[in-house]
Amino acid sequence: MEVETNSPIEQEQDEQLVVTPKKAAGKVGFLLLALMASTVGVLCGLLLVYSTDLPQIDELERYRPSAITELYDDQGREIGSFALQRRVIVTYDDLPKLLRDAVISIEDKDFERHWGVDVWRVLGAAYRDFRSGGRVQGASTLTMQLSRNLFLSADKNFGRKIQEVMLAIQIERRFTKSQIFTMYANQIFLGHGVYGFEAGAEYYFSKHARDLALEEAALLAGLPKGPSVYSPIRNPERALHRRNMVINALLEDGKITAEEAAVAKSTPIRLHLQGAPNFVAPYFVEEVRRYLETKYGADEVHEGGLRVYTSLNLDYQRTAERAVLDGLAAYEHRHGWKGHLQNVSDLGQSVAAYLEPDWEQPIVAGSYVHGLVTTVTPGVATVKLGKVNGLLTAPDIAWTKARDLHALLRAGDLVYVRIVDVPLTRSDGASPPLHITLEQESGVQGALMAIENSTGDVKAMVGGRDFDVSKFNRATQALRQVGSSFKPYVYTAAVDQGAKPDDTILDAPVSFTNSSGVWSPHNYDNRFEGVVTLRHALAESRNIPAVKLAAKIGMPTVISYVRKFGITSKMEPYLPVALGAAEVTLQEQVSAFSAFPNDGVRVIPRYIRRVVDYEGHSLEENYPEVKDVISVETARTMTDLLEGVMLHGTAATAGARLKHALGGKTGTTNDFTDAWFIGFSPSTTCGVWIGFDEKKSLGDREAGALAALPIWEQFMRVPIIEHPDESFPGKAAPASAIIKAQSQTTHPQAASVLSR
């Protein structure tokens, strides 16, 4: 049998066929390895490139978000704040489990399990977006969101996403889950300038995060996805839908029961928006801001999270603001309705679109706000006041003397109203119409300042009618002629040189010659009383006795006493200055008068007691700063003389009603351009000024006792209630007994005293 064999050439070809697949496999393997190496190299290069700008891990450990600088009154109640971002820093334990569960359920269900990046979530989102042709969205974990919000831009691109992932991994390696969640909860933006869940709870619901109900926590948890899109203020329907999605997510995760979910979803959104920052005591807060920025710098004040403990008392302040506005309203009622209302059509706006800044502030009984007339009928006018309406009826406009509402108002008119009563919100969440009265703004301004005599603490400050309209502080910045409220300095100089309260002086016509000619002063009532005591002359604010005293002492001496009282404004040594032809600030007047009940010691007004930094370290602590002005004997004599003003002088009507140890002085300038009252109790000194900014007349007989004194009286009821039995130094009997005894021997002319 013959066996067929291949030739040498054929054998060589067969060997080549056998070897080629092995070599090919080796080459493919080599190429794959090379490709992998290249890929790894490229990735490493990319990681190196995108990591060069990432913050170092020690930066993360030192990171501190900007925080609100908060201002507190003397009882620890918040009165204002400064911030670029409204944020209140809290700890993990301050965030209720309900809120934490809601955030995790809707934003990152695997937060407790992943290592910063949820790979399957990223791949799933990438696949969905690849099919839809969009970009990768909805795949960020809480940690990735935190890394982006802390250090990265909001740009949606591949490079930023790589950085986000890398930084998230760093954060997870160095921090615990509770620390990460706390940073996230303090950092996240929730719309309307609010950052963090604590600030969000305070802004939207006026409560702390720990006090949130289920439906409230769910609403906040739904905001990070789109703060403007799901804003309960701008888009309540979308906010409701998003909130219910969060509630469903909680139910799916077993965090709440079906019954709890049903109740929460059926509850309407009820917001209780926090008032605009610094709407309480805005003029006082502005004074504090200027001081803090000068001392610590704007960045520290607006981002440093300082705690500023001020001298203000919130109860005093609210009373002061109400008293000033009530006093201005009373002045305007005396002078009748002027009309000339502005209409939104004049502004090129519609009734439906118009918004008023006042509407951001809380609506409370007694407050004054601007409103928009929406409808007018013969019997009632409806006024829009933000989310609520007010109703005006005929009795509410009676002071205007108008026949009916149509004679005053038309739809679209912008009006100024007083809130008389705020009915309770109904069970369905609806707000009944408010009872309001029609007021007006004539342009008249008012200012009030009150300090505590023993410490100089500024307890209340009103610098004008409306801070939003004019930020000029008439309590600290306005130089106005003080009228007869200057006379106590003349009498102080006289007493210090030996004059006694029962010394007599002639109230009769007199003339003085000076470089500009002959000057003949006259009394307010154009009468002369003959021989009177100094006590009576000051109580009745007789001008001629005051000028004669000043002439006898010498005006340079009088002005030297004025300087002792801390008044620095320029004044010439001319006799008319003795009657108040000198410009002084209200703050200077109030501080000066506090020396009388203080036994001759003046305490410098104090706004800030203590400042604490973010870490709790004390930055400054201020103590009362005192200045010796006059002797104890002179101070007590002057206090006794100024008590006479309240007992049987130009302020006797207020003294009789208050029945307390009080002293003070009215002040009125020529042509009634300025009306003053500066007065004190043993514990508190308060000053009030009324006038127009352009220094025009308030009107005939609008003197200090008529225009300013009622405001002072309304305010002083608060410190009197707090100190019912106080008395001036050197007075042994309780003040109430002194007033009662002396009020029974009121000067016979007290009943007919005109305003001075």
Structure confidence at residue 87 (pLDDT): 87
Answer left, alpha or beta for residue 215, where phi above 0 means left and psi between -120 and 50 means alpha. alpha
- Return the biggest CA–CA distance within the chain: 171
Helix axes 314-334, 709-722, angle to 10 degrees: 150
Element (H, E) at 150: helix 142-151
Q: Are 232 and 271 in contact (CB under 8 A)?
A: yes
DSSP reduced 3-state for 95: coil
Q: Which of 484, 591, 594, 755 is labelled catalytic? A: 484
String of DSSP letters for 389-416: EEEEEGGGGGGGT-SSGGGT--TTBEEE
Which residue has tokens 């070897």?
19
* DSSP conformational letter for 725: T
Rg of the chain over Cα atoms, rounded to whole angstroms, equals: 37
Q: Are 605 and 456 in contact (CB under 8 A)?
A: yes
Residue 376 belongs to a domain: no
- The residue type found at 313 is N
Which residue has tokens 């709870």?
201
Residue of 98, 107, 141, 106 whose CA lies nearest to 122: 141
State which of 233, 266, 299 marks the end of a domain: 266
In CATH, what number is assigned to the domain containing residue 117?
A: 1.10.3810.10
Alpha carbon distance 629, 619 (integer Å): 31
Query: CA–CA distance from 391 to each of 371, 417, 432 (Å)?
Result: 11, 10, 10
Our answer to whether residue 439 is catalytic in this structure is: no
Helix axes 214-221, 258-266, angle to 10 degrees: 80
Alpha carbon distance 518, 513 (integer Å): 4
Which residue has tokens 């200012």?
447
Domain membership of residue 185 as a residue range? 88-266
Contact partners, residue 234, CB within 8 Å, separation at least 6: 228
Alpha carbon distance 386, 410 (integer Å): 18
Residue 27 belongs to a domain: no
* DSSP conformational letter for 504: E
Strands 69-72 and 307-310, by their bridges, are parallel
Q: Number of folded domains in the chain?
A: 2
Q: Are 199 and 113 in contact (CB under 8 A)?
A: no
Q: Are 455 and 624 in contact (CB under 8 A)?
A: yes
Query: Token pair for residue 171?
Result: 């954060």
Q: Are 667 and 707 in contact (CB under 8 A)?
A: no
CA 629 remoteness from chain centre: 35
Query: CA–CA distance from 599 to each of 307, 391, 458, 551 (Å)?
Result: 34, 53, 19, 27
Helix, strand, coil % over all residues of the chain, rounded to 5: 45, 15, 40
Is residue 398 exposed (0-12), middle (13-18) or buried (19+ Cβ within 10 Å)? Answer: exposed
Residue 155 burial (CB count, 10 A)? 9
Q: Which of 107, 300, 321, 702 is labelled catalytic? A: 107
Query: CA–CA distance from 701 to each of 125, 674, 698, 716 (Å)?
Result: 79, 11, 8, 24
Residue of 320, 416, 423, 440 whose CA lies nearest to 364: 423
Rounding to the nearest 10 degrees, give the CA dihedral for residues 93, 97, 103, 105: 140
Residue of 213, 240, 118, 121 whose CA lies nearest to 168: 118
Q: Are 535 and 646 in contact (CB under 8 A)?
A: no
State which of 213, 245, 266 marks the end of a domain: 266
Residue 212 belongs to a domain: yes
Q: What is the mean pLDDT of each run of 10 residues along the chain (756 residues)?
A: 48 50 64 61 45 56 78 94 87 96 93 77 54 53 81 52 77 89 92 92 94 97 94 93 97 96 95 77 96 95 94 97 98 94 91 86 89 94 93 95 91 96 72 92 96 98 94 97 98 97 97 88 94 97 97 97 96 94 97 98 97 94 96 98 97 97 97 97 98 96 97 98 95 50 36 34
Alpha carbon distance 394, 396 (integer Å): 5
- The residue type found at 526 is N
- The residue type found at 678 is I
Residue 354 belongs to a domain: no
Residue 389 burial (CB count, 10 A)? 18
In CATH, what number is assigned to the domain containing residue 699?
A: 3.40.710.10
String of DSSP letters for 20-44: HHHHHHHHHHHHHHHHHHHHHHHHH
* DSSP conformational letter for 691: E
Report long-range pairs for 529-534 (Cβ below 8 Å, ≥24 apart). Answer: 530/506, 531/504, 531/505, 531/506, 531/507, 532/504, 532/505, 532/506, 532/507, 533/501, 533/502, 533/503, 533/504, 533/505, 534/491, 534/494, 534/499, 534/500, 534/501, 534/502, 534/503, 534/504, 534/505, 534/641
State which of 247, 266, 285 marks the end of a domain: 266
Residue 157 belongs to a domain: yes
Alpha carbon distance 291, 268 (integer Å): 44
Residue 636 burial (CB count, 10 A)? 20
Q: Are 521 and 544 in contact (CB under 8 A)?
A: yes
Burial 685-710 (b: 16+ CB within 10 A, else e): bbbbbbbeeeeeebeeebbbbbbbbb
Q: Are 419 and 322 in contact (CB under 8 A)?
A: no
Query: CA–CA distance from 152 to each of 164, 166, 410, 560, 563 (Å)?
Result: 7, 12, 54, 64, 59
Residue 637 belongs to a domain: yes
Our answer to whether residue 484 is catalytic in this structure is: yes
Helix axes 158-174, 142-151, angle to 10 degrees: 110
Burial 163-190 (b: 16+ CB within 10 A, else e): bbbbbbbbbbeebebeebbbbbbbbbbb
Residue 487 belongs to a domain: yes
Residue 398 belongs to a domain: no
* DSSP conformational letter for 512: E
